[in-house]
Amino acid sequence: MKSPTDMRMPNTAITTTDRRAVRVKMPACLARSAFPMKITFLEFEQPVAELESKIEELRFVQDDSALDISEEIQRLQKKSRTLTKEIYAKLSAWQISQVARHPQRPYTLDYIGGLFTEFQELHGDRGFADDPAIVGGIARFNGAPVMVIGHQKGRDIKERQYRNFGMPRPEGYRKALRLMRLAEKFSLPLFTFIDTPGAYPGIGAEERGQSEAIARNLYVMAELKTPVICSVIGEGGSGGALAIGVGDRTLILQYSTYSVISPEGCASILWKSAEQAPEAAETLGITAPRLLGLGLVDRVVDEPLGGAHRDWPAMFGALSGALAEAAAEVKARPLDEVLNARYEKLMRYGRFKEA
Amino acid sequence: MSWFQKLLPPKIQRRARENKKSVPEGLWSKCPACNEVLYKADLENNLEVCPKCGHHHRITARKRLDVFLDAEARREIGAEVQPLDPLKFKDSKKYPERLKEAQAATAESDALVVMGGTVKGVPVVAAAFEFKFMGGSMGSVAGERFVRGIDAAIVSRSGLVCFAASGGARMQEGLFSLMQMAKTSASLTRLARERLPFISVLTDPTMGGVSASFAMLGDLIVAEPGALIGFAGPRVIEQTVRETLPEGFQRSEFLLEKGAVDRIVDRRKLRDELAASLAMLMGCSARAA
């Protein structure tokens, strides 16, 4: 079995400085490409993709010729926006889960770079290893010290492997637990960012007590004596997501999903074929508006047109505002009231009738 | 029906079916572990443990509670809580249909049965999962009954024992089911505050969302021999890591070796052993029988 250290790669550590650059500029991965934004389009966005490539072509022509075609470019850009709006107005649950997994979607460290200052990453569970699929540390949010914990996916193939595709192992949950305790001890509000396909189904993960690690976090978070604000920023995959997802407020980004099982997993069990994933996605009720309607999340944070990946700074601004409001609401009340309210909220989960 | 049966006149067909029924079915059963053919009554009298090899067969929730609790002063808790279909969930079948089928097959209204009473005189609330009810899956009803069990334990100053037998969270209730993990785990903080013990008994199988919540949060965690216990299912792991799983992987004995459970106790000794544990933790003593 590979140990987590085997998979560590050099130069993957993200320092505070290069992350802070993200604050004002475009994300590094996007800024590197030929144009400020080379968007990866999803299958259902193909009409938009075609329009955008036409716009790109025209821009090339524009550079070379004296003829002014900027009007034509503007017209096409407007058309592209309208088309995007139309497509995004009627996304199916399955399409939304594709957006939630978009390879250019901002991840936890991107939000940390965009929303927080003075971030210091803290590593390791003190027992076995450091799990790169969960990151965490102390930082400042609007000047106030806080604790941040989140799942971390990788951007390129190497980093994806290093981050284990955002699938934590037990030591990840235990690192998170350690940081939660630290937050409690120093009265730091805790912000968590959820973005994982789920817990890692591995031999070592089971040997080291994956179940216990998740369960312990649920228990501790239920009575952690500090405000806890959870945000689902991408995929909220099952127990692996919930393990850092119990708190006073649960926010979810508009095109994120939160589910008891992945649509593919559900389909392969109930339909005996992963091809039925779109149906499963629909019936599982995994989208933000649906979950808000069911009372399972507290607030939906709107994303920029075409999804968070289209405009990171706008997304950072929207989430920052929502987090500030949520934290202010929680902090306005005495802590014992907050804890009671958290408990009552947990007890209200569930739909049943009484005969 | 074979082509030959189709040719028979209806009267004979009916008689053939009746004859089949009149043969006492299920008088014998074969132990999957040692292949011994066992007289069913023997197996039942032995708490569904194979008298030859000690293999623990699955046992229904009612029977589990029946053999665990003292006969007197039992009361069922949370039976009034009944399932709904909040998502209008539908795969090849509608969720309400699946519920009805499970209810007909098990005579239970959902997958968790909770009872208050005593075990050898020690006050206890005992919960047991019915695996035959949709794989013992935990949805809103199981979660709520568990919490009501804890509330009752606090009121009656009882210990809590839960016999888990579950494939995990119930997909048909979507995120509501996932949240039952948080709900049940959170409710244990209240029991702990009262310094009342929780003994979690892991039986075959204890997986997924049940394993990754209250089942692993026992003050004592006891497993029955040979039970499959884990988070991810063995097949999922095998597909992910593309390796053959080690011998005995995710079985009780494996978990004991890895330090995940306190003890492995034979089902035939569970009542005595758990009564003794509870009595020691609660500072009282258990009756002789």
CB of A269 closer than 8 Å to CB of A281: no
**Which pLDDT does position A35 carry in this prediction?**
40
Q: Which of A128-132, B14-18, B183-187 has the lowest mean pLDDT?
A: B14-18
Q: Cα dist. A176→A131, A149, A307 in Å? A: 10, 7, 28
Among candidate residues B198, B126, B135, the one with its CA nearest the CA of residue B165:
B135
**Which pLDDT does position A72 carry in this prediction?**
86
A49 or B15, greater pLDDT: A49
Task: Name the average pLDDT for chain B.
Answer: 93
**Which pLDDT does position A60 carry in this prediction?**
80
- Best mutation target, B92, B166, B173, B178, to test chain A (most A CBs within 10 A): B178
pLDDT band per the 50, 70, 90 thresholds, residue B12:
low
Those of residues 286-305 in A touching chain B at CB distance below 8 A are 286, 291, 294, 296
Q: Which residues of A touch B86 (CB under 8 A)?
A: 294, 351
Mean pLDDT of B1-22: 60
Query: Cβ B181–A218 below 8 Å, yes or no?
Result: yes
Query: Any chain B CB within 8 A of the CB of A216?
Result: yes
Contacts of B187 (CB under 8 A, 6+ apart): A346, A347, B146, B147, B150
Q: Which residues of A touch B140 (CB under 8 A)?
A: 349-352
Query: Any chain B CB within 8 A of the CB of A24?
Result: no
Q: Which residues of B touch A293 (CB under 8 A)?
A: none
Those of residues 199-238 in B touching chain A at CB distance below 8 A are 208-209, 211-217, 229-233, 236-237
Which residues sit opposite B82 in a β-bridge? A353
Q: Which residue has the tokens 């032995």?
A: B46
pLDDT tens for each residue of B39-98 = 989 999 999 999 999 999 999 999 999 999 999 999 999 999 999 999 999 988 999 999
Query: Cβ B89–A283 below 8 Å, yes or no?
Result: yes
**Which pLDDT does position A274 carry in this prediction?**
87
Query: Cβ B84–A351 below 8 Å, yes or no?
Result: yes
Q: Is the peptide bond before B205 cis (omega within 30 degrees of 0)?
A: yes
Q: Cα dist. A49→A53, A56, A98, B26, B89 in Å? A: 6, 10, 16, 64, 35
Query: Any chain B CB within 8 A of the CB of A274?
Result: no
Q: Which residues of B touch A279 (CB under 8 A)?
A: 91
**Which pLDDT does position B24 carry in this prediction?**
56
The amino acid at residue A3 is S
Please give the residue of chain A at the shortest CA–CA distance from B81. A354
Among candidate residues B226, B253, B248, the one with its CA nearest the CA of residue B56:
B226
Query: Cβ B143–A349 below 8 Å, yes or no?
Result: yes
Q: Examine the pLDDT at B236 and tell me if it is beyond 50.
A: yes
Nearest to B216 among A211, A238, A271 (CB): A211
**Rounded Cα distance, A77 and A337, in Å:** 51
Query: Cβ B186–A351 below 8 Å, yes or no?
Result: no
Q: At what angle do helices A16-24 and A312-331 cross, to 10 degrees?
A: 100
The total number of residues written for chain A in this structure: 355
β-pair type (B220-223, B198-206): parallel
Query: Any chain B CB within 8 A of the CB of A257?
Result: no
Q: How many CB pairs under 8 A join A and B?
A: 197
The H-or-E segment that residue A322 falls in is helix A312-331
**Rounded Cα distance, A200 and B240, in Å:** 9
Please give the residue of chain A at the shortest CA–CA distance from B207. A211
Count of beta carbons in the 10 Å neighbourhood of residue A344? 9
pLDDT less than 70: residues of chain A: 1-37, 62, 64-66
Query: Cβ A350–B182 below 8 Å, yes or no?
Result: no
Query: Cβ B186–A347 below 8 Å, yes or no?
Result: yes
